[in-house]
């Protein structure tokens, strides 16, 4: 097996208005037990002090290379990779904090010449009850992560440059959920994903319901624009169409209205029961149903918006 060293790896990140978190991310990357050859950060045209902070950090850290490239995350990542020089490219995202062994664990599978793409893991860094409840709606929980093939996310992933070149990179037309679309493209190419469960980055959840709704909406728009309609989305839309039909019938038939209320109550109870074990806080009884309905509506409207704006 070939040994993979720090000189084999470039870390690529895109940022936009991340002045509050960027220093912590660079600090975490600088403290890795296996240091990358280079850390490439592409700023998408921040209107705050993000780029200035990066420039100041780069003067102290020779491995840190900062660029500006206006455009969406896909354009930024493609540009960042074009500036990299290593045979293996690792990705993480703004708002993530890699654990100290993240890069070491992420590139360990590349000691096998047959490994081409590695999916790292991510855990939530909740600061309050709302964020604790949001995490199971956004991240894959540990008990589910290894039940099937774990698709890579730019929060924590790496791939060989040869695969990157063959794939053509991220779709520059996509501004939302582009990494999920890219993972599906790699799968269509016949690429096998290797899961590295110990290659963990901490993910900082959205701070409030409005931010969470926009995140769910954006993900759904990105999927639909790329022509990806997940099976769960089809079931979700069907579920709400049936519910709306029964609701209007219930306006005329009292017995049906009781049935509709029962269905809704059961649905809200299910939203608590399926995720409470991941939160285990009394506030979850309130927040989990709210997040369930919010995410449902965001996915439905986001899917419709994505289909209407698909090019």
What would the 3-class secondary structure string for the chain be? CCCCCHHHEEEEEEECCCCCCHHHHHHHHHCCCCCCCEEEEEECCCCCCHHHHHHHHHHHCCCEEEEECCCCHHHHHHHHHHCCCCCEEEECCCCEEECCCHHHHHHHHHHCCCCCEEEEEEEECCCCHHHHHHHHHHCCCHHHHCCCCCCCECCEEEEEHHHHHHHCCCCCCCCCCHHHHHHHHHHHCCCCEEEEEEEEEEECCCCCHHHHHHHHHHHHHHHHHCCCCCHHHHHHHHHHHHHHHHHHHHCCCHHHHHHHHHHHHHHHHHHHHHHHHHHCCCCHHHHHHHHHHHHHHHHHHHHHHHHHCCC
Please indicate, yes or no, whether residues 40 and 77 belong to a single structural domain of this protein.
yes
Structural domain includes residue 62: yes
Please indicate, yes or no, whether residues 99 and 242 belong to a single structural domain of this protein.
no
Please say which residue of 173, 203, 233 terminates a domain. Answer: 203
Please indicate, yes or no, whether residues 97 and 246 belong to a single structural domain of this protein.
no
Please indicate, yes or no, whether residues 23 and 61 belong to a single structural domain of this protein.
yes
User: Residue 29: its pLDDT value, please?
Assistant: 96
Asked if residues 117 and 208 have their Cβ atoms less than 8 Å apart, the reply is no
Confidence of residue 7 (pLDDT cuts 50, 70, 90): low
Please say which residue of 203, 222, 240 terminates a domain. Answer: 203
- Is the pLDDT at 164 greater than 80? The verdict is yes
Please indicate, yes or no, whether residues 129 and 195 belong to a single structural domain of this protein.
yes
Confidence of residue 214 (pLDDT cuts 50, 70, 90): very high
User: Residue 6: its pLDDT value, please?
Assistant: 56
Q: Quick one: how far is CA 174 from the chain centroid?
A: 14
- Is the pLDDT at 147 greater than 80? The verdict is no
Domain assignment of residue 258, given as a range:
209-308
Structural domain includes residue 81: yes
Please indicate, yes or no, whether residues 61 and 23 belong to a single structural domain of this protein.
yes
Please indicate, yes or no, whether residues 287 and 239 belong to a single structural domain of this protein.
yes
Please indicate, yes or no, whether residues 198 and 283 belong to a single structural domain of this protein.
no
* Number of separate domains in the chain: 2
Structural domain includes residue 18: yes
User: Residue 4: its pLDDT value, please?
Assistant: 64
Please indicate, yes or no, whether residues 20 and 89 belong to a single structural domain of this protein.
yes
Structural domain includes residue 155: yes
- Residue (of 311, 161, 110, 155) closest to 227 by Cα position: 311
Tokens 């369930």 sit on residue: 292
Query: What is the percent of the chain where pLDDT is above 70?
Result: 97
Q: What is the mean pLDDT of residues 291-300?
A: 96
**Greater confidence, 310 or 10?**
10
Q: What is the mean pLDDT of residues 220-232?
A: 90
Please indicate, yes or no, whether residues 223 and 249 belong to a single structural domain of this protein.
yes
Please say which residue of 158, 173, 203 terminates a domain. Answer: 203
Confidence of residue 176 (pLDDT cuts 50, 70, 90): confident
Instruction: Write the CB contacts of 44 (distance below 8 Å, at least 6 apart in sequence).
Output: 14, 15, 16, 68, 69, 70, 71, 72, 73, 75, 76
- Is the pLDDT at 1 greater than 60? The verdict is no
Question: Per-residue pLDDT tens for 70-114?
Answer: 889 999 999 999 999 999 999 999 999 999 999 999 999 999 999
User: Residue 188: its pLDDT value, please?
Assistant: 94
- Is the pLDDT at 3 greater than 70? The verdict is no
Question: Per-residue pLDDT tens for 126-146?
Answer: 999 999 999 999 999 988 887
User: Residue 250: its pLDDT value, please?
Assistant: 82
Q: What is the mean pLDDT of residues 15-31?
A: 95
Confidence of residue 5 (pLDDT cuts 50, 70, 90): low
Please indicate, yes or no, whether residues 181 and 115 belong to a single structural domain of this protein.
yes
User: Residue 83: its pLDDT value, please?
Assistant: 96
Dmax (CA) of the chain? 72
Please indicate, yes or no, whether residues 190 and 115 belong to a single structural domain of this protein.
yes
Q: What is the mean pLDDT of residues 251-276?
A: 89
Query: What is the percent of the chain where pLDDT is above 90?
Result: 80
Structural domain includes residue 1: no
Rounded Cα gap, residues 253 and 246, in angstroms: 10
Rounded Cα gap, residues 17 and 152, in angstroms: 25
Structure tokens at 279: 């939160």
Structural domain includes residue 73: yes
- What residues pair up with 195 in beta bridges, in sequence order? 119
């Amino acid at each position: 097996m070939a040994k993979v060293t720090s000189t084999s790896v470039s870390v690529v990140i895109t940022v936009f208005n991340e002045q509050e978190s960027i220093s912590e991310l660079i600090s975490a990357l600088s403290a890795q037990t296996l240091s990358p050859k280079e850390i490439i950060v592409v700023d998408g045209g921040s209107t705050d002090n993000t780029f200035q902070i990066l420039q100041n950090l780069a003067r102290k850290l020779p491995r840190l290379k900062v660029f500006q490239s206006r455009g969406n995350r896909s354009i930024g990542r493609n540009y960042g990779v074009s500036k990299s020089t290593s045979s293996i490219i690792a990705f993480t995202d703004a708002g993530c904090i890699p654990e100290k062994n993240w890069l070491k664990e992420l590139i360990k599978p590349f000691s096998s010449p047959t490994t081409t793409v590695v999916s790292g893991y991510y855990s939530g860094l909740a600061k309050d009850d709302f964020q604790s409840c949001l995490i199971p709606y956004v991240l894959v929980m540990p008990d589910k992560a290894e039940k099937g093939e774990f698709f890579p996310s730019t929060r924590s992933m790496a791939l060989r440059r040869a695969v990157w070149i063959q794939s053509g990179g991220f779709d520059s037309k996509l501004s939302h959920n582009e990494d999920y679309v890219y993972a599906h493209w790699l799968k269509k190419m016949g690429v096998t994903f290797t899961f590295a469960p110990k290659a963990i980055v901490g993910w900082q959840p959205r701070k409030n319901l409005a931010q969470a709704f926009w995140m769910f909406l954006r993900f759904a728009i990105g999927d639909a624009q790329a022509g990806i309609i997940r099976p769960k989305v089809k079931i979700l839309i069907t579920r709400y169409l049936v519910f709306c039909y029964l609701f209007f019938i219930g306006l005329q038939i009292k017995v049906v209205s009781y049935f509709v209320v029962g269905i809704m109550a059961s649905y809200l109870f299910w939203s608590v029961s399926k995720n409470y074990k991941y939160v285990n806080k009394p506030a979850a009884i309130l927040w989990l149903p709210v997040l369930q309905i919010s995410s449902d509506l965001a996915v439905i409207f986001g899917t419709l918006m994505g289909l209407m704006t698909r090019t």
